[in-house]
Amino acid sequence: MVTEAHQHTVPTPEPARTFPEGFLWGSATASYQIEGAAAEDGRTPSIWDTYARTPGRVRNGDTGDTATDHYHRWREDVALMADLGIGAYRFSLAWPRIQPTGRGPAVQKGLDFYRRLVDELLAKNIQPVATLYHWDLPQELEDAGGWPERATAERFAEYAALAADALGDRVHTWTTLNEPWCSAFLGYGSGVHAPGRTDQVAALRAAHHLNLAHGLAVQAVRERTPADSRCSVTLNIHHVRPLTGSDADADAVRRIDALANRVFTGPMLRGAYPEDLLKDTAALTDWSFVDDDDLRQIHQPLNFLGVNYYTPTLVSQADGSGAHTSDGHGRSAHSPWPGAREVAFHQPPGATTAMGWAVDPSGLHDLLRRLACDFPGTPLVITENGAAFDDYADPSGNVNDPARIAYLHGHLAAVHQAIAEGADVRGYFLWSLLDNFEWAHGYSKRFGAVYVDYPTGARIPKASARWYSEVARTGVLPA
């Protein structure tokens, strides 16, 4: 006999959720994080090679010299994707592997690697999604001034043309930049990413020239690929929330939203920089590095907007000390937030991942709803979402990661809810396919669905990989 008390403890079953027909299920990686072969077949150093080899920059002195050795094990990795039923693979091209100095003709051995990779993906019915830039700027271009200089955007357009000429018959979905906010503000502002510079004006200049590089690259790709090719950009849109309901905290949200998000969505999707951003940073720069025709060049039609989301951002008015150590982007004596000394960052409540990032799927739901409202008619794709946990292989060789499964389930439920409420979300890419070099954290953080034993290079699909495989194959998020 079931007592009344027991009846009240039985939770209401959560229904399974079915995603729309044609929803794209994928996984993502980045060249410097997985390829290795740092000096093979003509590849020269990128800013991340230089940064990682600088003592004190990367945990344990780790580098991407070998990474997960994907350059030699790519066939095995594609077979893994096929076994998992992944429908699309988002990877990045290594600029210094294709064009070692950032200038001049392409190195055919570098292009041949990507040709082989893409051919293998197509043979396994996996859609290739190529990102032109995931942070590995050729060091020679940084030596000439890097992203704060207009010439770097012009060189990027030439590189995009080389890639499109070589792969445009095989790759039909292109992403120009991955997270230009990190490239500009962590690379040139706080210095916690390569090239490690700490100049707030240089960070703003870099943001503009990354915008320009995006627009010029879209034009170069469209000129060289079939009419049905698709162009996009991937932004780590910050979902910024106020600590309290005060007007001061609302203004803190506005400031960070301008620096984190609208500095890119404004020029790329609206053709203008936000007036409040220009006003907030007027004490630093008059933005005279923006030429008359730049905004027209930047504002190019896109087939979709790529959205990377991991955790929300919580802010309040500050005391002017420039506190920013809880923004989730690494500790530095220098702020990645130019003109925002009035803003303080706070750790959001709740459980955290191994990165110390709060687990909050509602932030993804709210972000998708906002983007659908702000940019109607622009399809959205989740190009990165995932979590790092302290994974290990047990004595039987299995890697069980229930916390990652819970994270993915919650965030996919949030995506499904946003779609049901009208957001035009077309796909989801799990970050990441493999454990890999996690930038300044080296190999200490594991984001992969597939565990990598670094001494041997062995790949072990985690429990989350099998779970995600079933979702990808069926299009159904289980109860």
**Is 384 considered catalytic here?**
yes
Structure tokens at 15: 């229904």
Q: How many CB atoms lie within 10 A of CB 455?
A: 6
Tell me which of 120, 342, 384, 438 is the catalytic residue: 384
- CA-nearest of 353, 349, 363, 350 to 464 is 353
Dist. CA 63–CA 443, nearest whole Å: 9
**C-alpha 433: how far from chain center:** 13
CB-CB neighbours of 158 under 10 Å:
16
Residue 389 per-residue DSSP state: B
Among 35, 142, 149, 179, the one annotated catalytic: 179
Cβ neighbours around 112 below 10 Å, total: 12
Of 191, 209, 210, 213, give the one whose Cα is nearest residue 200. Answer: 191
Task: Yes or no: say if 148 and 213 are a contact pair by the CB < 8 Å rule.
Answer: no
Q: Indicate if 438 belongs to the active site.
A: no
What gap in Å lies between CA 255 and CA 249, rounded to an integer? Answer: 10
Tokens describing residue 176: 């120009």
Cα separation, 44 vs 141, in Å, equals 12
Q: How far apart are CA 156 and CA 179, in angstroms?
A: 16
Cα separation, 407 vs 340, whole angstroms: 32
Beta strand residue intervals within 360-403, DSSP E: 380-385
Catalytic positions are 179, 384
